[in-house]
Chain A
């Protein structure tokens, strides 16, 4: 094998370990990267994503914060303006709203309004999404209200390999990034069938569970082609990528599946090319439908692919209500709903 480059060392990781490895790698390479948030320091975070970082990198580089989401993000913006690359954690995306003003009025606009004099390259990590019986305060998918805010990037991984690569890319990015972690995927892929035996990432057999231990990044704004197909394009991100695979398998439709990976920046070229090829499009997201990001995707596809469309664009999404605890699986846009949509879309005359 001499003369050939050795394959990078990889290890089987779940998404928590992959995110931890990303933070560890970024902190190891750049002394300006620091991590803070509620319970993230000594304890290592309620989902263990920051476990061991304080011990390894020191007290000042990974520490706990007061219970003030606005304060956490505001302080991170100030750190970013100084020249650091802070990676604050908001414990659940459901609790990010007190920080909405800081993200919208400050983080996203600082560079613009100061004409490039000040900017804040913070990466806000936060677990989002349902499927864990978390009720309305541990289950929401708020991506649309952030995607609408220009100046802010919104990144959503769907597997351990992407989680590490996208998180490193987000930390190294000079713009503020909201990094939404699909908590239902932390420990294993989830196909939207709650009664099915759970798979861990390690026993999933999926190549994305093999994660390089060293530094690498997955560029923001590039969708991933998860499944090639000819009849319809399915657009998804986060947990819904796996649900989409299950729905496509159930339906028997030859669908193409794009994992968007980041919704801002959005890989418009990949979306356009795929829909022009298949002539049909279904958008799948867990957030409630009205005003959801699916509306934007639908509009973009319509604007750019109208002459190629052979059926109306369809959205499969959560229903328009707060996340309903006991009705989680009635609300959740699972594989059956997607399979129905796939069949009706391809049979549209």
Chain B
């Protein structure tokens, strides 16, 4: 067959709307209107909510008022507590990022711009529900008042590191705070959350699980494995895509076509998917509450896309000005989550700029004191947990290899320091 008349094939490589040096464009972002999206009954059949992934659930409007059916109607004290957690996350991030630049830790990752999501969810869910976080979810811990010094000790990998020097900075684990162990490989724990929720249902428990992946990680098989399992067994879990527009330098268009919301991936699995303004503390809370009620009443899983923006670099090893316009963050059409909750509280008459500045100053001081205290124990390389820790928790009990290797290392240490072989 002669194919000479056919057009030649062309490979499509997705490209973001703008690159460094160009004018920022968020023309593709459809903000919709605050309060406009309906809030279905928690037992709604999936067939009736298939339009929802395409609409953005918002509560806070441009005049800083809470509007519409997703408003969780929280008391001002609760909102102030949420604001405090978010501000703490931000000032902690800024201080510890600087600590990295000063050589006090090997690595750091900020949550800037995304604080509302984990802060609201940490407060909205119950003690005992399990959170399977990513590395941009420290606001969960701050909302539950995780001791700052302990967190600094982990980041400095010092003698008091709660993870005993075994894991990278900020890849935390905090079982007492319902915060599952993070690792650097992405997506793998999404399905753990489903298995955990299945176990809770198996035991006729009342606890549910919550899990994050980023927009980029929805391309991993693990995402689809988790969705398949969650759907098949109607697992009591809330699966979230924190769509911050970037996977390191790659824009979200590599994980899904630009016009397709990540929430729509739920359509293929037959359970509700909703898209929520992730920079709106109240919308995050309201949506989480809805999904949690569904999970707790055996109505199964929910996929929530939190539409947000990574306002800073991926990590201490990243400079975003190399791949996106420098001022892109300030143009994000859904604003800054801290500013928006602050302005809402001011609009309520429950807050003012003076109190806000006092809060920021108080938390900066609190972080400074905690960092100093952790520095006194030691920063990276100055102080570390006892060497025996290195051999613990590989297995429940050390086997002969670990015992021999520990003896060998300790004997060498003893020779080097000239102190006898020790125990």
A and B: bona fide binding partners: yes
Please tell me if A265 contacts chain B, counting CB pairs below 8 Å.
yes
A81 CB within 8 Å of chain B = yes
Indicate if the CB atoms of B175 and A105 lie closer than 8 Å. Answer: no
Q: A98-B221, A109-B183, A112-B394 are in contact. Are A75 and B202 (CB under 8 A)?
A: no
Determine the chain B residues whose CB is within 8 A of the CB of A118 once the complex forms.
Answer: 173, 175, 180-181
Known contacts: A70-B225, A81-B192, A105-B183. The answer to whether A114 contacts B198 by CB under 8 A is no
A178 on the B face (CB < 8 A): no
Bound together, the chains give a CA A258 to CA B171 distance in angstroms of 43
- Bound-complex Cα distance A111 to B392 (A): 9
Q: How far is the CA of A19 from the CA of B395 in the complex (A)?
A: 25
CA distance A151 to B393 in the complex (A): 8
Number of A-B contacts (CB under 8 A): 144
B341 at the interface (CB under 8 A from A): no
Q: How far is the CA of A84 from the CA of B201 in the complex (A)?
A: 12
Report whether B166 and A115 are in contact in the complex, using a CB–CB cutoff of 8 Å.
yes
Q: Contact at B198–A75, with CB atoms within 8 Å?
A: yes
For B200, the chain A residues whose CB sits under 8 A away are 82
Closest to A150 in B: B394
Whole-angstrom CA separation of A106 from B164 in the bound complex: 18
B163 interfacial contact with A, CB 8 Å? yes
Provide the bound-state CA to CA distance between A170 and B226, in Å. Answer: 26
| B229 cross-chain contacts in A, Cβ below 8 A | 65-66, 68, 71, 74-75
- For A218, list chain B residues within 8 Å (CB): none
Residues of B within 8 A of A101 (CB): 185, 188, 222
Q: Of B173, B175, B183, B222, which is within 8 A of A70 by CB?
A: B222
Q: A265-290: contact bitstring with B at CB < 8 Å (1 yes, 0 no)?
A: 11011000000000000000000000
Quick one: given A70-B225, A78-B194, A79-B198, are A106 and B183 in contact (CB under 8 Å)? yes
Q: Report the bound CA distance from A112 to B188 in whole Å.
A: 17
A residues 18-46 near B (Cβ < 8 Å) are: 34
Interface residue ranges of B159-217 to A (CB < 8 Å)? 162-164, 166-167, 171, 173-175, 180-181, 183, 185, 188-200, 202-203, 209
The verdict on A75 contacting B195 (CB below 8 Å), with A106-B183, A113-B183 known, is yes
Task: Type the 1/0 row for A43-56, where 1 means its CB is closer than 8 Å to any CB of B.
Answer: 00000000000000
Q: How far is the CA of A153 from the CA of B397 in the complex (A)?
A: 12
Q: Which residues of A contact B394 (CB under 8 A)?
A: 111-112, 150-151
CB of B213, distance to nearest CB on chain A (Å): 13
Q: Specify which chain A residues have a CB less than 8 angstroms from the CB of B221 in the assembled complex.
A: 68, 70, 98
Which A residues are in CB contact (< 8 Å) with B185?
101, 105
A225-272: which have CB < 8 Å to B?
Answer: 264-266, 268-269
Q: Do the beta carbons of B192 and A77 come within 8 Å of each other?
A: yes
Interface residues of A in 73-91 (CB under 8 A from B): 74-84, 86
Partner among B188, B202, B224 whose Cβ is within 8 Å of the Cβ of A102: B188
CB A279 to nearest CB in B, in angstroms, measures 23
Q: Is the CB of B194 within 8 A of A113?
A: no
Q: How far is it, in angstroms, between the C-alpha of A34 and the C-alpha of B233 when the chains are bound?
A: 15
In the bound assembly, the distance between CA atoms of A160 and B80 in angstroms comes to: 64
Q: Does A305 belong to the interface (CB within 8 Å)?
A: no
Residues of B within 8 A of A151 (CB): 394-395
Contacts of B162 in A (CB 8 A): 115
B321 CB-CB contact with A under 8 Å = no
CB within 8 Å of B: which residues of A?
34, 60, 65-66, 68, 70-71, 74-84, 86, 98, 101-102, 105-106, 109-119, 150-151, 153, 173-175, 221, 264-266, 268-269
What are 18 A-B pairs with beta-carbon distances under 8 A?
A66-B228, A68-B229, A70-B222, A74-B192, A76-B195, A78-B191, A78-B194, A78-B196, A82-B199, A98-B221, A113-B166, A113-B171, A114-B181, A114-B393, A115-B166, A117-B181, A173-B396, A265-B400
Instruction: Mark B residues whose CB is within 8 Å of A.
Output: 130, 162-164, 166-167, 171, 173-175, 180-181, 183, 185, 188-200, 202-203, 209, 221-222, 224-226, 228-229, 232, 389, 392-396, 399-400
